[in-house]
């Protein structure tokens, strides 16, 4: 139950990004860069300092390497079949007067649904990561949930921008985002089933989670942050790493 609760918290944090956009409009590039950089730094630090060492304790070097490569490959494949991007040059996020948004603009609607579907698929291995971390220790599971929650806030922005620009109502956007977020606890449920079978699955799951998080951080979070504002992106990454070392 603890894994489901943590992963549910991480999953629904996507709604925070939606609320941020609907209530306050598009956030500044420097704020987004800081947020994305911080989330990326946390994921890199947790993967290297926590997940991979724990994976070696539960399994072997071979299991750890295989799990890590599977994590990288899984995220790469998901990105290939459903491209998933953060708001970088977000003209479609400009909703100065959302109440006067046009009825339906098909190009934004299609974009929004594509991002929504991509994020839902990305959330499955994130739930698996939380479940694997929790099998190792409650503290690691909670840390992973918090890191993924930070990462999910800009995902909410990526969903809400095009959907709101298409003319979709606020409530429907929130419900769709919640649905995508629920894929995170679903991933945790799937992981718990396998983790109860053998400790080898725990070691492999931790390594897979490390590979998935490294891919997310290095392929999406950090590059997107640098495109928005390089200085704030680097501040976010390094601040997160320092905090992770202290914890």
**Highest averaged pLDDT of the listed ranges 34-38, 62-66, 180-184:** 62-66
Query: What is the number of alpha carbons within 13 Å of residue 139 lying toward its C-beta?
Result: 5
Contact 125, 71 (CB under 8 A): yes
For residue 163, which of 94, 112, 209, 100 has the smallest C-alpha distance?
A: 112
**Chain segment 26-46, per-residue pLDDT in tens:** 778 888 888 888 888 888 988
For residue 244, which of 5, 100, 44, 8 has the smallest C-alpha distance?
A: 44
Residue-range definition of the domain harbouring residue 241: 2-246
pLDDT of residue 133: 82
The whole-angstrom separation of Cα 127 and Cα 6 is 9
Domain count, the chain: 1
Q: Which two tokens stand for residue 117?
A: 């579907």
**Chain segment 113-168, per-residue pLDDT in tens:** 766 777 777 788 888 888 888 887 888 888 888 888 887 887 787 777 767 777 78
Checking if the pLDDT of 52 tops 90, the result is yes
Q: How far is CA 245 from the centre of its chain?
A: 21
| Long-range contacts formed by 115-119: CB under 8 A, 24+ apart | 115/84, 115/85, 115/158, 115/159, 115/162, 116/159, 116/163, 116/176, 116/177, 116/180, 117/82, 117/180, 118/78, 118/79, 118/82, 118/83, 118/84, 119/14, 119/84, 119/155, 119/158, 119/159, 119/180
Which of the four pLDDT bands, split at 50, 70 and 90, describes residue 85? low
């Amino acid at each position: 139950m603890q894994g489901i609760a943590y992963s549910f918290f991480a999953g629904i944090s996507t709604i925070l990004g939606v609320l941020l956009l609907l209530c306050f409009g598009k956030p500044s590039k420097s704020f987004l860069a800081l947020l994305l950089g911080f989330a990326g730094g946390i994921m890199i630090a947790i993967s290297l300092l926590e997940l991979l060492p724990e994976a070696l304790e539960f399994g072997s070097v071979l299991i750890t390497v295989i799990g890590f490569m599977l994590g990288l490959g899984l995220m790469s494949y998901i990105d290939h079949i459903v491209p998933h991007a953060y708001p970088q040059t977000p003209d479609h996020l400009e909703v100065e007067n959302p109440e006067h948004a046009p009825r339906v603009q098909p190009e934004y609607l299609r974009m929004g649904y594509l991002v929504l579907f991509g994020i839902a698929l990305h959330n499955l291995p994130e739930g698996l990561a939380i479940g694997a971390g929790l099998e190792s220790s409650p503290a690691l599971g909670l840390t992973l949930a918090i890191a993924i929650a930070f990462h999910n806030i800009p995902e909410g922005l990526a969903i809400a921008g095009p959907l709101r620009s298409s003319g979709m109502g606020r409530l429907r956007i929130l419900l769709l985002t919640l649905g995508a977020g629920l894929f995170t606890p679903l991933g945790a449920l799937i992981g718990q089933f396998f983790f109860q079978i053998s400790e080898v699955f725990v070691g492999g799951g931790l390594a897979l989670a490390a590979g998935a998080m490294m891919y997310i951080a290095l392929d999406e979070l950090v590059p997107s942050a640098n495109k928005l504002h390089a200085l704030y992106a680097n501040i976010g990454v390094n601040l997160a790493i320092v905090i992770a070392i202290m914890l």
